[in-house]
Structure 1
Amino acid sequence: MSNVFSFTGTIGRDAEVRYTASGMAVLSVTVANNIGFGDKQQTLWLRVSLFGKRAEGSLQNYLKKGQQVFVSGELSQNEYKANDGSTKTSLEVVANIIDLVGKRNEGGASYPAAEPRQAAPSKPQSMAHDNFDEPYDDDIPF
């Protein structure tokens, strides 16, 4: 039986690449995934690791804080002792796939607004029913 966990989320901290004692590259990144709705919404923080040649490439340069990503891999839950002696758990995904999704959100800043449009020249009366003078709406969802 296969353990595959796929989700989308937002990177919480820039990716880091380390090397094991045997020389294998390990890319590590933390991804936030929101679950639930309304007052019941929670944020799960998942540690994501990518091993080998795929971790050595330029992917690290694109996995920056605020970037939305799609992750697919094997999910595991790890237990560890905190400094206060309590037992804590963390979720970790050993990724097979990390894909960029959408644009990077620069610290919550909105994207630059479009430049104001110049007024269009007057049109012939036969085309008066067409709305060519109205600005184009880039936010159409389809």
Structure 2
Amino acid sequence: MSVNSITLVGRAGRDPEVRYFESGTVVANLTLAVNRRSRDDEPDWFNLEIWGKQAQVAADYVRKGSLLGIIGSFKLDRWTDKATGEERSKPVVRVDRLELLGSKRDAEAGAFSGGGNYGGGAPSEEEVPF
């Protein structure tokens, strides 16, 4: 049995780079900064690759600083550098599921924008289940 699954929550390091293909396929690439437990440590950076409808969502709604949750799998992109002829590689997380958790501006304004609650605003006491 083999398992290749990665779950991350972090902030977009830049706006997505989006490419549209003649076939209609869309791909978005961006970086994700994930903080470590200690605030003194530098964040870990991940390269994300998002395809299809979720890539279009990323293109439309993700901006630098957006808080994202992702589920995906690890892959290693390999290529030959055209200038030097050297073999190169880069670790990439291919995103299977993208959750928009809010933007940095939302957090600073104190707005609640939990997964899927795109209307914003904190839930009333009647909506809280406990």
TM-score, with normalisation over the residues of structure 2? 0.63
TM-score, with normalisation over the residues of structure 1? 0.58
- Structure 2: 5+ residue runs without aligned partners? 111-129
Residue in 1 aligned with 2:109?
A: 111
Partner of 1:73, secondary structure, is: strand
In 2, Cα distance between equivalents of 1:49 and 1:28: 5
Higher Rg: 1
Residue in 2 aligned with 1:136?
A: none
Verify the 8 A CA contact 2:54 2:97 in the aligned structure 1.
no
Cα pair distance change 1:37/1:20, threshold 3 Å:
same
Cα pair distance change 1:71/1:65, threshold 3 Å:
same
Q: Report the alpha carbon displacement of residue 110 of structure 1 after superposing the two structures with TM.
A: 3.3
- Structure 1: 5+ residue runs without aligned partners? 113-141
CA RMSD of aligned residues (A): 3.2
The 5-angstrom pairing of residues 1-142 of structure 1 reads: 1-20=2-21, 23-39=24-40, 41-56=41-56, 58-78=57-77, 90-101=90-101, 103-106=102-105, 110-111=108-109
Residues paired across the two proteins, number: 106
Q: Report the alpha carbon displacement of residue 61 of structure 1 after superposing the two structures with TM.
A: 1.7
Which digits, 9 at most, give the CA deviation of each residue in 1:97-123, with x for residues without a partner?
11011x3113xx9327xxxxxxxxxxx
In 1, Cα distance between equivalents of 2:29 and 2:39: 31
Q: Which one is further off, 1-10 or 11-20? A: 11-20
Residue in 1 aligned with 2:116?
A: none
Structure 1 stretches of 4+ with a deviation exceeding 2 A read 19-24, 52-56, 76-81, 87-91
